[in-house]
């Protein structure tokens, strides 16, 4: 019995092979250096509660890649607020799908070569002449959009979770009709009509 117990203890003390798991981590490149294009992904509150032990809930799980935009630009809170203002006013206070669609168009313009590619950013595209008429709204610069829209902007501009294809570059109010500007129609989302455009 003592001999069996000794063998069992030896087995328990053997090192656990983690090499395979380490090789699959997406946040490290071939040299083992953390990849700057991946960021820690915060754990949702319900998951934190589900896996909490002794009051010490894990803060992070896994990794999430940065968007094409965030790999080139630092995304500030001011940037996200500006994008959220555009989305809130352009979507007419409708619903989350409508806000996200407008944010996606703004994102697509920021990464499309025809709008400046790596040179352009949220501020440049927001104030590009003749594009977003809401910048002339009386309270545009002081508007405090709902936090949910700011977080949607973060989800899109930082993590690249797009709801629309990257070649959706234009939209207009539904009253202007599907033939607006001779562009190819994509979809009606929240009272705005969205259209394809050439990214080059």
Task: List pLDDT tens digits, range 58-81.
Answer: 444 456 789 999 999 999 999 999
Q: 192 with 121, same domain?
A: yes
Domains of the chain: total: 2
Q: In this structure, is the dihedral angle defined by the CA atoms of residues 109, 111, 112 and 117, taken in order, positive or negative?
A: positive
Q: Could you tell me if residue 72 is inside a domain?
A: no
Q: Could you tell me if residue 31 is inside a domain?
A: yes
Last residue of a domain, one of 65, 89, 104: 65
pLDDT at residue 61, rounded to an integer: 47
Q: Once rounded to an integer, what is the mean pLDDT over residues 166-173?
A: 95
Q: 58 with 119, same domain?
A: no
In contact, 82 and 144? CB cutoff 8 Å: no
Q: Could you tell me if residue 115 is inside a domain?
A: yes
For 91, 125, 126, 135, 165, the CA distances from 180, given in Å and listed in that order, are 18, 21, 21, 21, 19
Residue 175, Cα to own-chain centre: how many angstroms?
30
Q: Which residues pair with 194 in a beta bridge?
A: 171, 187
pLDDT at residue 115, rounded to an integer: 84
pLDDT at residue 60, rounded to an integer: 43
Q: Once rounded to an integer, what is the mean pLDDT over residues 49-57?
A: 43
Q: Once rounded to an integer, what is the mean pLDDT over residues 23-45?
A: 51
Last residue of a domain, one of 18, 41, 65: 65
pLDDT at residue 50, rounded to an integer: 39
Q: 122 with 58, same domain?
A: no
Give the residue numbers spanning the domain of 16.
2-65
Q: 52 with 84, same domain?
A: no
Q: Could you tell me if residue 70 is inside a domain?
A: no
**Stated pTM of the model:** 0.71
Q: 48 with 131, same domain?
A: no
Q: Which two tokens stand for residue 1?
A: 């019995």
Highest-pLDDT range among 9-13, 31-35, 81-85: 81-85
pLDDT at residue 49, rounded to an integer: 42
Q: 159 with 134, same domain?
A: yes
pLDDT at residue 65, rounded to an integer: 84
Q: Once rounded to an integer, what is the mean pLDDT over residues 36-63?
A: 48
Highest-pLDDT range among 1-5, 8-12, 14-18, 142-146: 142-146
Q: Once rounded to an integer, what is the mean pLDDT over residues 31-49?
A: 51
Q: 175 with 133, same domain?
A: yes
Q: Could you tell me if residue 71 is inside a domain?
A: no
Q: 141 with 51, same domain?
A: no
Q: Once rounded to an integer, what is the mean pLDDT over residues 98-115?
A: 95
Q: 124 with 181, same domain?
A: yes
φ, ψ for residue 34, nearest 5 deg: -55, 135
Q: 58 with 120, same domain?
A: no
% of the chain at pLDDT higher than 90: 60
Q: 37 with 91, same domain?
A: no
Which contacts of 62-65 are long-range, i.e. CB under 8 A and separated by 24 or more positions? 63/25, 63/26, 63/27, 63/38, 63/39, 64/38, 64/39, 64/40, 64/159, 65/26, 65/37, 65/38, 65/39, 65/159, 65/160
Q: 99 with 162, same domain?
A: yes
């Amino acid at each position: 019995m003592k001999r069996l117990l000794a063998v069992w203890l030896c087995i328990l003390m053997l090192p656990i092979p983690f090499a395979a798991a380490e090789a699959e981590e997406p946040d490290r490149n071939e040299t083992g250096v953390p990849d700057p294009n991946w960021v820690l992904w915060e754990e949702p509150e319900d998951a934190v509660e589900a896996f909490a032990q002794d009051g010490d809930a894990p803060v992070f799980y896994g990794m999430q890649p940065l968007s094409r935009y965030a790999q080139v630009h630092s995304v500030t809170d001011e940037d996200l607020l500006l994008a959220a203002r555009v989305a809130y006013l352009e979507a007419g206070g409708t619903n989350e799908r409508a806000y996200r669609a407008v944010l996606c168009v703004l994102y697509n313009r920021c990464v499309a070569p025809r709008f400046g590619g790596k040179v352009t950013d949220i501020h440049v595209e927001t104030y590009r002449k003749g594009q977003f008429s809401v910048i002339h709204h009386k309270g545009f610069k002081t508007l405090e959009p709902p936090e949910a829209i700011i977080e949607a902007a973060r989800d899109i501009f930082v993590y690249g979770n797009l709801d629309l294809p990257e070649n959706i570059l234009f939209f207009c109010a539904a009253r202007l009709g599907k033939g607006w500007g001779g562009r190819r129609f994509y979809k009606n989302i929240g009272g705005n009509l969205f259209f394809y455009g050439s990214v080059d």
